[in-house]
A and B are shown apart, each in its own frame.
Chain A
């Protein structure tokens, strides 16, 4: 009788698990913050390019855009660095042997975006961060 009950319970128990929050079981790493920050950098470059006035309002907006560009390029650096140093483990390097070089270039690219107003560099930053995010997610599969 008890064997029947056990089998019945086993048959009824769910086979799929959905998580309510993934922080504690899987760590709190997520490259989405870096992706968003890189998007913001590109958007700021675009906004700065669209400004040509010398009115106080335009100059004010110019300075605000530059500030936000600086801050978000710094967020890209921080987010990428944290995932790189804290999340990635030696076994991840087997599938991604050039990870260190890629991260190094990405951090330099973020610096370049701080120094310049360069749409191409901003696009490269977005592409680089996306690639980094793809590598991150590929290790979760």
Chain B
């Protein structure tokens, strides 16, 4: 997730998130099948149509399409498909450490980006 996040960053995660946040937001989810805690970015939300090999796919009412920021090495929805809301752990909200890393919100899409 570089440069947005670096290994070792301390993040406050909002676990009260009950729906998929807007595109561009960084979320912590349980990876389908493995249950591993992983951190990804919301690329598409319920009702969005995405392009997949061989056509288009419309996401269900609880589904999101999650992608890592490093497409060459990230294991994300391209591998395990759309992720259901019950896998969502929370929204990554704030980086508060460690010392020397910038303090503040992470992964908030800018107004311009979310409008695209």
Contacts and interface: CB of A to CB of B under 8 A. Distances in A.
Interface of A: 9, 12-14, 16-24, 26, 28, 30, 32, 133, 137, 140-141
Contacts of A24: 73
A20 B34 contact: no
B97 A23 contact: no
B38 interface: yes
A21 B6 CA distance: 12
A21 B98 contact: no
Contacts of B115: none
Contact of B34 (A9, A16, A137): A137
B33 A12 contact: no
A22 B31 contact: yes
A21 B80 contact: no
B97 A21 contact: no
B5 interface: yes
Nearest to A12: B97
B79 A14 contact: no
Contacts of B89: 18
B38 A140 contact: no
Interface of B: 1, 5, 7, 10-11, 28, 31, 33-39, 68-70, 73-75, 79-80, 89, 96-98
Nearest to A21: B74
B97 A13 contact: yes
B10 A12 contact: yes
Given A18-B28, A20-B7, A140-B34, 13 more contacts: A19-B37, A20-B1, A20-B69, A20-B74, A21-B74, A22-B34, A22-B38, A22-B75, A23-B73, A30-B79, A30-B80, A133-B33, A137-B33
Nearest to A35: B33
A134 to B, nearest CB: 9
Contacts of A22: 31, 34, 36, 38, 75
Contacts of A32: 33, 79-80
A14 B33 CA distance: 25
Contact of B96 (A12, A18, A23): A12
Nearest to B2: A20
B78 to A, nearest CB: 10
